[in-house]
Amino acid sequence: MKIVEVNTPSANYQITIGRDLFDMVNIDLFGDYPDVVIVSNTTVFPLYGSQWADYFTQCGKRVYTYQLPDGEEYKTFATAEQVLTFLLKHKLSRKTLLVALGGGVVGDLAGFVATIYLRGIPFIQIPTTLLAQVDSSVGGKVAVNHELGKNMIGAFYQPKAVWTDLDTLRTLDLRERRAGLAEVIKYGIIWDGEFLNFLATKRKDLLLEKEIVTDLFAYVVARCCEIKSEVVSQDEDERGIRAVLNFGHTIGHAIERATNYRVYRHGEAVAIGMVAVCRLAYQLKCFSKSEFEYVKRLVNDFGLPTDCKGISVDEIFNGIFHDKKTVGDKVTFVLPKKLGEVEIVSGIDEGEIKQAIEYVAGT
C-alpha cells in the first residue's frame, strides 16, 4: 500500500493506493455521515457497485445508488441535474457522503454535483480507470462540459479522500489503459525527465495484454499523484503553475469537441495534443528536434495516436479559443523547453499554431 498526501489551502487528504481496499479504508472518514450515495455508470457499477454498497451497508450506512450512462457525451449539466433531482427526491441532507465510483467522467460529474448540492456536501473518489487514478481524481477539479467547450462549467472542490484499488485496472481493455498512459507520459514531459525514461524502459510491462504488474503500476500511479500533489499544493485554483498540468490539453480538448467526443478517448486526444505542442515548441525553436522526435516516437510506441488526419484544421483551431486558459483572443499554451521542464506561454503567432495543428490534422 502507498499513501500520497495532498495538502491544499482548502483541504488536506490522502490518496490510498493498493489492493483489497476494503481492508484498508479509514472508516472514520465517513463516521459522521448516515447516508452514502454511490454515483457510478452502467459499465462500472455491475463490476464493483454492489461490493461497495454492501461494504457501506455493513458499516451501518443507508446506501443509495445512481448509475449514469457511460460516455463523455453524458458529462453535461442535464445529467448533473438528474442526479441532483435524485438527491432531492430522497431528501438527502448535508450529512450525506457522495462516492464517485468510476473513471474521469463519473468523478468530474459527481464531484460537480457534490459542490453545488445544498451548497456543498462531502465526497470521495474511487477511480477505476488508470487515467482517473493518475489525474482526474486528484486535485479537486470538478466540472461538466458545454456544447462550446469541455469542462467549462465547474469548480475547485477537494474530495475527502481518494481510494485507488489497482485491481480495477484488470478490467480495463488495452485501449483504455493506453489512454491512461498518455497522462502518465505527460507527467514525465512536464516535470520529471527521469520518470519519462523509466516509462520507456518499462513499456512492455505496462502494456501486457492480460496481466497487470501490480508493483509497477503502484509506483507509476503514486509517482503521478506525487507530482500532481506537489503542483496543486502550490496553486490550488490554477492561477499560475497548475496550468502546466494542462500540457497537451488545449489542442486535445479541441480535438475531442471537433469529433463530438465519439472518436478519441480523452487520453488519446491528449496524446495528439502533446505531439502538436511539442511540434509547436520545435517550430518556435524552444524545443530540440531530437526531443520532439523522441516524444512522438514514445507516444507511438505506447500505441497512442500521434495524428488525427481528416479532422478539420479550422475546427480544431477555432476550438482552442474555447479553452479555459484563453484570455480575450490570446490562447495560452504549455510548451516544453526540455524533457522534464515546460513553460507557460501566451500570445503565440496564430500562423505558428495553425501550422502545428496542420502537422497532426492535415490531410
Residues annotated as catalytic are 119, 141, 183, 228, 238, 242, 246, 249, 253, 266
Sign of the alpha-carbon dihedral angle for 62, 67, 73, 77: negative
CA-to-CA distance for 272 and 252, rounded, in angstroms?
Answer: 7
Beta bridge partners, 342, equal 336
CA-to-CA distance for 172 and 349, rounded, in angstroms?
Answer: 41
3-state secondary structure of 78: helix
Q: Are 15 and 136 in contact (CB under 8 A)?
A: no
Q: What is the CA radius of gyration of the chain?
A: 20
| Ordered strands of the 35-41 beta sheet | 2-7, 12-18, 162-165, 123-127, 96-102, 35-41, 62-68
Characterize the bridge pairing of strands 2-7 and 12-18: antiparallel
In 3D, which of 322, 310, 323, 318 has the Cα closest to residue 353?
Answer: 318
Neighbours of 351 (CB within 10 A): 9
Identify the helix (H) or strand (E) that includes residue 287: none
CA-to-CA distance for 241 and 47, rounded, in angstroms?
Answer: 38
CA-to-CA distance for 271 and 183, rounded, in angstroms?
Answer: 8
CA-to-CA distance for 170 and 207, rounded, in angstroms?
Answer: 12
Q: Are 121 and 99 in contact (CB under 8 A)?
A: no
In 3D, which of 46, 79, 270 has the Cα closest to residue 179?
Answer: 270
304, 41, 18, 144 alpha-carbon torsion, rounded to 10°: 70
Neighbours of 65 (CB within 10 A): 17
Burial of 327 (0-12, 13-18, 19+ CB in 10 A): exposed
